[in-house]
Amino acid sequence: MNFNILRIAMAQIAPVWLDKHKTIAKIKDAIVDASNQKAELVVFGEALLPGYPHWLSLSEATKFDSSIQKEIHAHYARNSIVIEHADLDDISQLAKSLSMAIYLGIVERAFDRGAHSLYCSLVYINQEGQIRSVHRKLQPTYDERLTWSAGDGHGLKVHALKQFTVGGLNCWENWMPLPRTALYAQGENLHIAVWPGSDHNTKDISRFVAREARSYVVSVSSLMTVSDFPKDTPHLDVLLENAPEVLANGGSCIAGPNGEWIVPPIMHKEGVFVQDIDYNRVLEERQNFDAVGHYSRPDVTKLIVNRERQTIAKFED
What does the pLDDT look like over 239-269, one tens digit per residue? 999 999 999 999 999 999 999 999 999 999 9
Phi, psi for 28 (deg, rounded to 5): -60, -40
Q: Distance (Å, rounded) from C-alpha 101 to C-alpha 126?
A: 4
* Mean pLDDT, the chain, whole residue set: 96
Q: Say if residues 45 and 12 touch (Cβ distance below 8 Å).
A: yes
Which is nearest to 14 in space by CA: 249, 237, 218, 274? 249
H/E stretch holding 133 reads: strand 131-136
pLDDT tens per residue across span 100-137: 999 999 999 999 999 999 999 999 999 999 999 999 99
Q: What is the mean pLDDT of residues 36-48?
A: 98
What pLDDT is attached to residue 143? 95
Indicate the residue type of 165: T
**Cross-strand bridge partners of residue 121:** 106, 136
Beta strands in the chain (DSSP E): 5-12, 41-44, 101-109, 118-125, 131-136, 159-161, 164-170, 190-194, 216-220, 223-225, 246-255, 261-267, 271-278
Q: Distance (Å, rounded) from C-alpha 30 to C-alpha 14?
A: 11
pLDDT at 212 over 90: yes
What pLDDT is attached to residue 2? 87
Using CB atoms within 10 Å of the CB of residue 302, give its burial: 0 to 12 exposed, 13 to 18 middle, 19+ buried. exposed
Q: In the chain, what are the domain boundaries?
A: 5-285
Phi, psi for 57 (deg, rounded to 5): -90, 0
Residue 236 to residues 18, 21, 107, 240: CA-CA distances in angstroms?
12, 20, 21, 6
Q: Distance (Å, rounded) from C-alpha 217 to C-alpha 166?
A: 10
Q: Say if residues 143 and 172 touch (Cβ distance below 8 Å).
A: no
What pLDDT is attached to residue 1? 72
Helix axes 20-36, 89-98, angle to 10 degrees: 10
Q: Which CATH number fits domain 5-285: 3.30.450.40, 3.40.50.880, 3.40.30.10, 3.60.110.10?
A: 3.60.110.10
**Cross-strand bridge partners of residue 159:** 166
